[in-house]
Amino acid sequence: MIQVLMFCLLSFGIFRIAWKGFSKVYFNIMLGRDEHVSGNKGKRIQQMLLFALGQKKMFERPVSGIFHFFIYAAFIFTQIELIEIISDGISGHHRIFAEPLGKFYNFLINFIEILSLLALAATLIFLSRRNIIRLLRFQKPELRGWPSMDANLILLGEILLIIAIFTMNSADQQLQILEPNHYPSTGRLYLSGLVTDHLNSFPKDYLVFMERAGWWIHVLVIYGFIIYLPYSKHLHIFLAFPNSYFSRIEPRGSMSNIPEIENEVRGMFGLATQEIISPRDSFGASDVTELSWRQLLEAYSCTECGRCTSVCPANLTGKKLSPRAVMMSIRDRAEELGEFRREHKDNNAQDGKNLFDYISREEIYACTSCNACVEACPVLINPLIPILEMRRSDILMNSKGPSDWLPMFNSLENNQSVWSMSEARDAWKNH
Amino acid sequence: MNVPIYNEVVAQGGQPEILFWVGCAGSYDARAQKISRAFAEILTRAGISFAILGEEEKCTGDPARRAGNEFLFQILALQNIETLNLYKVKKIVCTCPHCFNTLRNEYPALGGTYEVLHHSQFLEQLLNDGLIKIHDTSTAPVTYHDSCYLGRINGVYEAPREVIGHLKTEIRELKRSRKNGLCCGAGGAQMFKEDEPGHKRINIERAGEVVASGSNKVVANCPFCITMLEDGIKSLDKQQEIMVLDLTELILENCV
Ligand code: SF4
Ligand code: SF4
């Protein structure tokens, strides 16, 4: 009874805290400018199934793809166990699904155990990739401090969770022999059963303690994870779905139009202008409020995997630009501004800072718009859009930008060509 | 050489089937001018009805837009669209993947919708239709470099390879190719500015892959890639051994 009470209170507290955390994330994403996404539902759903559910892009790098898949599959299937744990916790039963599901229950738990073992192997490999092999893409400056700790913490949590599952299941099987009325039969569990075989000399109290400890650790790790998620890159486990649904389906090579500027130029040439429903008075993005909510959703969906940075030609040749750092900075800035506005209870409050305090001009101007980052991202993030939007803001609103570009701009204005040449545009045919 | 100008053809009551979009590089850059001549030569030999806009052609605005200067982009794009719509142009072929991308993907939103082809796609059609023929002596292996704007951005990976495939030769792939192709370093208006601090230039990194591919001809499909690769190869002091060619030049060299 006490256990049931404890469990219910704890669950209530956890979900309250989690709700707050997730609401903040939602608030921060909605700092972004409105952008209407419509149509093409079929294509969008397909995109979501293929890339979020099916993890298609993860398999482009087969080794990490497969190991990540183990963790992913184990995570999904453990949710069934979680449902049982919560049901048990609330009702005070033990393994509430075991009897009704019978043989299928045995199959299910065995399956989860196998996945958990594979996930354990993957977790160890991922930990060593970050901390022993020190894969280049995990050693970039933007990962120093909290981001690498975040990654390691979750991997350690995962190990703890798997150990808890095996402890619980192995002790449980021995208890099923000692007290079959209390502990419904799960049938033989092959992996944890190997441990059970060594437990027959253990006293009953000890086994009960093992089983309960495993159960509570399981619950606590999962609950910890839930409140931790809004602060972690692991938010991608949820956000990958909406993100791939809302991801851009327009051709990669087209930049978004700015109708206000189009109209101004049309006016200059005496051409018919178009009606703009909600005109903007600033162009490009100098802060998260000028990016669309879609780009902020992308920033919150970023897994910090660095696949984008590892193929970025600028980063590969030692420039400061890292598309991953761009996405991480956008999230950091959204966090900061969101916090500020909530504190001041004012949805328009400004703190005097902007995105340029996080992302330098040196970074945005090093981009070749090659789209390698866009191609590489497993969750369909487009780091190029914010880079180009920041350029737009810098050039159109601040009249800044590399001075090297001035001759090109002048020449385009005066000669309608990137170079100023004295010869005619078609003189090449006579050379 | 004789290259028809659109307004002259129209003035005489004609309507060219194809508009050959030359682009700034093709018009003014000494190296790229050779590509323009080679392509015009192929079109002439194949008996295609085509013309160029000449003085009426303006930069598509790609570098201005990527540099963030939307105002300048709109000025250029809207003028080009006026011209193209005035002549009721239906089909455009470009020798530059940046022009190709902007005309194909960005002009429709501004009221300019045309059938736009990159010259690799058009050459593929000409070869498949037998309008140009390649002699069947075998030639040394060639390496192919995917440009970002044709490849990754517009998904055209096969057409240029098909074109090279018409030659009796082996195509060597670079270490990073197709969707993993490495940029030459010129896109996003980088062509027109100095690099930010780093430990290497991007074109030298790519040129290193070209050298490693072991052939002495590398074929590209973009005038900016060609400049970048030539510079890179020169920096590695391999300009005596490795030649950088446009697809058009490779075909013209091997035409019957
Ligand atoms: S588009 Fe820009 S940021 Fe992305 S990989 Fe290319 S150079 Fe790097
Ligand atoms: S943007 Fe995509 S590829 Fe880059 S770190 Fe984030 S999730 Fe990985």
Query: Given an 8 Å threshold on Cβ–Cβ distance, is A368 in contact with B187?
Result: yes
Mean residue pLDDT of chain B comes to: 97
User: What's residue A220's pLDDT?
Assistant: 94
Q: Is the pLDDT of residue A1 over 80?
A: no
Q: Is the pLDDT of residue B214 over 90?
A: yes
Question: Which bound ligand lies closest to the C-alpha atom of A314?
Answer: 1
User: What's residue A81's pLDDT?
Assistant: 86
User: What's residue A34's pLDDT?
Assistant: 92
B183 touches chain A (CB under 8 A): yes
User: What's residue A422's pLDDT?
Assistant: 85
Q: Where residue A200 falls among pLDDT bands split at 50, 70, 90?
A: confident
User: What's residue A390's pLDDT?
Assistant: 98
For A394-431, the pLDDT digits (tens) are 999 999 899 999 999 999 999 999 998 889 999 999 88
Q: Is the pLDDT of residue B67 over 90?
A: yes
Domains of chain B, with CATH numbers?
A: 6-123 (3.40.50.1860), 134-252 (3.40.50)
For A86-107, the pLDDT digits (tens) are 899 898 889 999 999 999 999 9
- Tell me which of A368, A387, A388 to substitute to probe ligand 1's pocket, judged by most ligand atoms within 8 Å of the beta carbon: A368
Question: Which bound ligand lies closest to the C-alpha atom of A57?
Answer: 2
User: What's residue B26's pLDDT?
Assistant: 97
Lowest mean pLDDT of A165-169, A199-203, A331-335, name the range.
A199-203
Number of the ligand 2 atom closest to the C-alpha atom of A383: 1
- Tell me which of A58, A302, A367 to substitute to probe ligand 2's pocket, judged by most ligand atoms within 8 Å of the beta carbon: A302
Residue pair B143/B215 in contact (Cβ under 8 Å)? The answer is yes
Q: Is the pLDDT of residue A48 over 80?
A: yes
Asked if residue A388 has its Cβ within 6 Å of ligand 1, the reply is no
Residues on chain B touching A404 (C-beta within 8 angstroms): 192-194
For B151-160, the pLDDT digits (tens) are 999 999 999 9
Q: Where residue B4 falls among pLDDT bands split at 50, 70, 90?
A: very high
Ligand 2 interacting residues, C-beta cut-off 6 A: A 302-308, 323-324, 327, 376-377, 379, 381, 383
Distance (Å) from the alpha carbon of A389 to chain B's nearest alpha carbon: 7
User: What's residue A37's pLDDT?
Assistant: 87
Mean predicted confidence (pLDDT) in A117-139 = 95
The answer to whether ipTM exceeds 0.90 is yes
Q: Which of B22, B70, B146, B179 to substitute to test the interface with A, most A CBs within 10 Å?
A: B70
Q: Is the pLDDT of residue A79 over 90?
A: no
Query: Given an 8 Å threshold on Cβ–Cβ distance, is A416 in contact with B58?
Result: yes
Distance (Å) from the alpha carbon of A3 to chain B's nearest alpha carbon: 55
For B6-58, the pLDDT digits (tens) are 999 999 999 999 999 999 999 999 999 999 999 999 999 999 999 999 999 99
For A309-358, the pLDDT digits (tens) are 999 999 999 999 999 999 999 999 999 999 999 999 999 999 999 999 99
Q: Which residue has the tokens 């309960």?
A: A212
